[in-house]
Amino acid sequence: NAGVTQTPKFRILKIGQSMTLQCTQDMNHNYMYWYRQDPGMGLKLIYYSVGAGITDKGEVPNGYNVSRSTTEDFPLRLELAAPSQTSVYFCASHFGSEQFFGPGTRLTVL
Protein backbone atom coordinates (compact mmCIF):
# COMPACT_ATOMS: atom_id res chain seq x y z
CA ASN A 1 0.00 0.00 0.00
CA ALA A 2 1.17 3.51 -0.79
CA GLY A 3 -0.83 4.86 2.17
CA VAL A 4 -1.84 8.52 1.89
CA THR A 5 -0.33 10.43 -1.01
CA GLN A 6 -0.50 14.16 -1.65
CA THR A 7 0.36 16.29 -4.66
CA PRO A 8 1.99 18.66 -5.25
CA LYS A 9 4.77 18.74 -2.62
CA PHE A 10 5.36 22.46 -3.08
CA ARG A 11 3.45 25.27 -4.76
CA ILE A 12 3.68 29.04 -5.00
CA LEU A 13 0.49 30.92 -5.85
CA LYS A 14 -0.24 34.54 -6.55
CA ILE A 15 -3.01 36.27 -4.61
CA GLY A 16 -6.36 35.51 -6.19
CA GLN A 17 -5.27 32.36 -8.01
CA SER A 18 -6.98 29.05 -7.43
CA MET A 19 -5.66 25.54 -7.05
CA THR A 20 -6.58 22.05 -5.94
CA LEU A 21 -4.51 20.03 -3.52
CA GLN A 22 -4.84 16.36 -4.27
CA CYS A 23 -5.09 13.58 -1.68
CA THR A 24 -5.48 9.87 -2.33
CA GLN A 25 -5.47 6.88 -0.01
CA ASP A 26 -5.43 3.22 -0.99
CA MET A 27 -6.40 1.74 2.37
CA ASN A 28 -10.18 1.91 1.80
CA HIS A 29 -10.63 4.17 4.83
CA ASN A 30 -13.95 5.95 5.13
CA TYR A 31 -12.70 8.88 7.21
CA MET A 32 -10.47 11.50 5.62
CA TYR A 33 -9.25 14.87 6.88
CA TRP A 34 -7.55 18.05 5.73
CA TYR A 35 -5.38 19.99 8.19
CA ARG A 36 -3.22 23.05 7.94
CA GLN A 37 -0.08 23.52 10.02
CA ASP A 38 1.30 26.99 10.63
CA PRO A 39 4.78 27.56 12.13
CA GLY A 40 4.88 26.84 15.87
CA MET A 41 1.28 25.71 15.84
CA GLY A 42 -0.49 22.42 15.93
CA LEU A 43 -2.67 21.10 13.17
CA LYS A 44 -5.97 22.81 12.57
CA LEU A 45 -8.80 20.87 10.94
CA ILE A 46 -10.14 22.44 7.74
CA TYR A 47 -12.63 19.85 6.49
CA TYR A 48 -13.30 16.20 7.01
CA SER A 49 -15.33 13.42 5.43
CA VAL A 50 -16.85 10.30 6.94
CA GLY A 51 -17.42 8.63 3.58
CA ALA A 52 -18.00 9.19 -0.11
CA GLY A 53 -20.51 11.96 -0.69
CA ILE A 54 -20.31 13.29 2.88
CA THR A 55 -18.19 16.25 3.97
CA ASP A 56 -18.25 18.57 6.96
CA LYS A 57 -16.49 21.70 8.18
CA GLY A 58 -13.74 21.65 10.74
CA GLU A 59 -12.27 24.50 12.80
CA VAL A 60 -10.96 26.68 9.94
CA PRO A 61 -13.01 26.04 6.75
CA ASN A 62 -13.21 29.61 5.38
CA GLY A 63 -11.58 30.01 1.99
CA TYR A 64 -11.59 26.28 1.22
CA ASN A 65 -13.86 23.71 -0.36
CA VAL A 66 -13.75 19.94 -0.58
CA SER A 67 -15.47 17.11 -2.37
CA ARG A 68 -15.54 13.36 -1.82
CA SER A 69 -16.83 11.57 -4.90
CA THR A 70 -14.90 8.36 -4.19
CA THR A 71 -13.55 6.62 -1.10
CA GLU A 72 -9.98 7.08 -2.33
CA ASP A 73 -9.87 10.79 -3.20
CA PHE A 74 -10.42 13.89 -1.09
CA PRO A 75 -9.26 17.04 -2.94
CA LEU A 76 -9.02 20.44 -1.24
CA ARG A 77 -9.86 23.50 -3.33
CA LEU A 78 -8.65 27.07 -2.79
CA GLU A 79 -10.70 29.43 -4.95
CA LEU A 80 -9.14 32.85 -4.25
CA ALA A 81 -5.75 32.36 -2.65
CA ALA A 82 -4.81 34.80 0.11
CA PRO A 83 -1.49 35.27 1.98
CA SER A 84 -3.19 33.95 5.13
CA GLN A 85 -3.45 30.57 3.39
CA THR A 86 0.34 30.21 3.30
CA SER A 87 0.84 27.02 5.28
CA VAL A 88 1.69 23.34 5.14
CA TYR A 89 -1.35 21.21 4.34
CA PHE A 90 -1.71 17.63 5.51
CA CYS A 91 -4.26 15.10 4.41
CA ALA A 92 -5.03 12.14 6.65
CA SER A 93 -7.19 9.05 6.65
CA HIS A 94 -8.55 7.31 9.68
CA PHE A 95 -9.15 3.68 10.49
CA GLY A 96 -10.14 2.50 13.94
CA SER A 97 -8.29 4.94 16.15
CA GLU A 98 -5.21 5.64 14.08
CA GLN A 99 -4.84 8.53 11.67
CA PHE A 100 -2.44 8.09 8.78
CA PHE A 101 -0.95 11.30 7.41
CA GLY A 102 0.33 12.16 3.98
CA PRO A 103 3.71 13.87 3.49
CA GLY A 104 2.20 17.35 3.18
CA THR A 105 1.97 20.16 0.63
CA ARG A 106 3.87 23.38 1.34
CA LEU A 107 1.88 26.28 -0.13
CA THR A 108 3.07 29.87 -0.36
CA VAL A 109 0.75 32.67 -1.46
CA LEU A 110 2.48 35.86 -2.56
- Strand ranges inside the chain, DSSP E: 4-7, 10-13, 19-25, 31-37, 43-51, 54-57, 64-66, 76-78, 87-95, 98-101, 105-109
86 is a site residue for other proteins (CB under 8 A): no
Binding to other proteins (CB under 8 A) within 6-45 occurs at 31, 33, 35, 40-45
Cβ atoms of 102 and 91 within 8 Å: the answer is yes
d(CA 67, CA 70): 9
Number of residues that bind other proteins (CB under 8 A): 24
**The binder of other proteins chosen from 71, 85, 90, 93 (CB under 8 A):** 90
Shortest distance (Å) from residue 80 CB to other proteins = 26
Residues that bind other proteins (CB under 8 A): 4, 31, 33, 35, 40-45, 48, 50, 56, 58-59, 90, 92, 97-99, 101-104
